[in-house]
Amino acid sequence: MGYNANVAALQLSGLTQSIERLGSHGSYLSGATWIARGAEKWRKAKPGEEGSIEWVMENDPFMKHRGRTLNREIREISMSMREIMKGKQSPPNKWMRENAFLFIMKAQQITDIITWNASYEMNRSAGKTHEEAVAAARRDVTASQGSGMLQERSRVERDWKYKMLMQFGAFFNTVYQRNAQAYRLANFRDPVSVMNYAFKLWQINMFPAVI
């Protein structure tokens, strides 16, 4: 799983959830437009410049520690592998086992950075201050991509008795919230709104499976 290119590439499909999240402030097209701008800003930014990974991490501690707080399951598996293989393997094999989820985390980092940049630009364009835009970008990343931080977990996820039943619960909770948000915004008396709602359901639930 860790070195599966398909699994790593699947993380990029999370941008469809970011589009839905940002589009909820206006329209789906506006969400896609802001994500495209966020991706372009990240692509063109040199290290340390606004929009780069370094700049985002410097301005938002949440993004700096994102790799350790994104997913409880991957973090715990990685820590367990380090303990089990301590002193038992050659350096190359040890590195491969300890960094088995590196591709997945890097792909997710790209998705997070693009989402963060898109939200930041959208809020700055709306007249928000730098601090307000950073806070909004953090919320949009959490809402669209999930978070493994303790305060972001549900009560069931925090209960050790149900831990085994909640594997990758943060991801499923995030998908559920995106579906719930799409439902709340749908106007079932408007045919256009119903079609838009159906498209969002396909985008959130089916598109990742299709690719």
pLDDT at 82: 56
pLDDT tens digit sequence for 97-149: 556 667 777 888 899 999 999 999 999 999 999 999 999 999 999 888 877 66
Average pLDDT, the chain: 77
Percentage of the residues of the chain whose pLDDT score is greater than 70: 64
3-state secondary structure the chain: CCCCHHHHHHHHHHHHHHHHHHHCCCCHHHHHHHHHHHHHHHHHCCCCCCCCHHHHHHHCHHHHCHHHHCCHHHHHHHHHHHHHCCCCCCHHHHHHHHCCCHHHHHHHHHHHHHHHHHHHHHHHHCCCCHHHHHHHHHHHHHHHHCCCCHHHCCHHHHCHHHHHHHCCHHHHHHHHHHHHHHHHHCCCCCHHHHHHHHHHHHHHHHHHHHC
Residue 72 or 107, more confident: 107
154 within 8 A of 169, measured Cβ to Cβ: yes
pLDDT at 40: 94
Residue 193 has pLDDT above 80, yes or no: yes
Q: Which of 27-41, 65-79, 165-179 has the highest mean pLDDT?
A: 27-41
pLDDT at 211: 62
14 within 8 A of 144, measured Cβ to Cβ: yes
Q: Which of 16-25, 160-169, 186-195 has the highest mean pLDDT?
A: 186-195
Residue 178 has pLDDT above 60, yes or no: yes
pLDDT at 202: 84
pLDDT at 182: 84
Q: Which of 108-117, 150-159, 174-183 has the highest mean pLDDT?
A: 108-117
